[in-house]
Amino acid sequence: MAGPSRDSLADTPAGRTLLGLLDLAGKDFRRDEVMAWLTGCPVRPPRGKESTFSPSQWDAISRQAGIVGGLDQWQTRLEAFELQTMAKADSGEAAEELSVGRAAAMRASAGIAGDLREFIKDLSIAVAAPPPGSSWPTFCEWASKLLEGYIYQPPSTGDNNKQAGLEQDKKRIAQILDDLRAADSINPSASEEEFKQVLTDSMQVHQGHLGPTGQGVFVSSFASAAGMSFDAIWMLGIYSLAAQQLVPGASRFQAAYWFTSGGGGFQFAPPDFFDISDDDTAQRFREGALHIVSGIQAGVFPANPGPFSNENFANCRYCDFDRLCPARRGDIWERKKHDPKVVSYRELAEDGVQTDLDGEV
């Protein structure tokens, strides 16, 4: 498929680990959620327990201890399991009902239960969010500590690609958190849910960078189009007209997109706002919309590849049909662009079009 990568940072191991961490407290530490996170993400083991850290063993022991959810169960039931298992090992070995090896294995299980209990206790403190109304930098610092404290990939012999990829993704998440600190200048306070939503949205953007498409009209989902550079954005006009219908008593309507991530610099686009109340703006919008609608009704969908640069045509770099179009697409457009049926499209897509009805068709 042509175009940028469809993978998002939220889908990477580092992204899943951090977002999963932020969700744990809100889900009351349900056993199934905690174990899905532990067994499915690259989690840093407790300090000094690297050699014995085994999420699968933690899963089995937490199940045997009867944990369903809630911090109280993690503490009381794991402690009870630990004490009962140790007592059974001691009494069974003393009565020669258990072999030395079996008793040692039971004591090891009790120790693992203790490790898990301490891990959950520390985790509950770490994921406790700042109080509502805290600043954006405060929430970012909280997430940064989780990022460094819990995401870890043990070095492997022979292949370091996984380790390098994880570290690269951690750096990219750290950059997003640094960018989010700037949101403090727009809104000085935030809630936990607001912070999580903005961070999740920022991490769900495709990893590939979307740039200008060159000349022409680009039609796509807004999620893709928002990352590109255009001379005119018609969606703001449609939103403004809808607002006029919903709020008939208002005298002025201004609209802009707010980029809620560092990639967009938390800027408004356009910076001077789209003002449908301005007569000239409204007229230009209606003329553009008329061209689009009339072209759709007439079935005019010309394949305009745009100027050629960087070994490809500008508009083709973001088109899913790039591999299907012929190599002579530029020549074909030059031959067809003077067709009278394409004039309405060119008036919208190209400034200062001079209609040449005598040109080759």
Q: What is the pLDDT of residues 269-312, one digit of tens each?
A: 777 777 877 888 888 777 777 777 667 766 777 788 888 877 78
228 contacts: CB under 8 Å, gap ≥ 6: 210, 211, 212, 213, 218, 318
How crowded is residue 276: how many other Cβ atoms within 10 Å of its Cβ?
21
* Residue 166 tokens, joined: 């994880």
Return the pLDDT at 8: 79
Sign of CA dihedral 219, 224, 225, 228: negative
Tell me how far apart the alpha carbons of residues 191 and 227 are, in angstroms, rounded to a whole number. Answer: 26
User: Cβ distance 318 to 218 under 8 Å?
Assistant: yes
pLDDT tens figures, 236-272: 777 787 777 787 777 777 787 777 666 667 777 777 7
pLDDT tens figures, 141-169: 999 999 999 988 776 645 567 778 888 88
User: Cβ distance 178 to 140 under 8 Å?
Assistant: yes
Return the pLDDT at 89: 93
How crowded is residue 359: how many other Cβ atoms within 10 Å of its Cβ?
12
- Look at the block and give the residue holding tokens 């299980």: 109
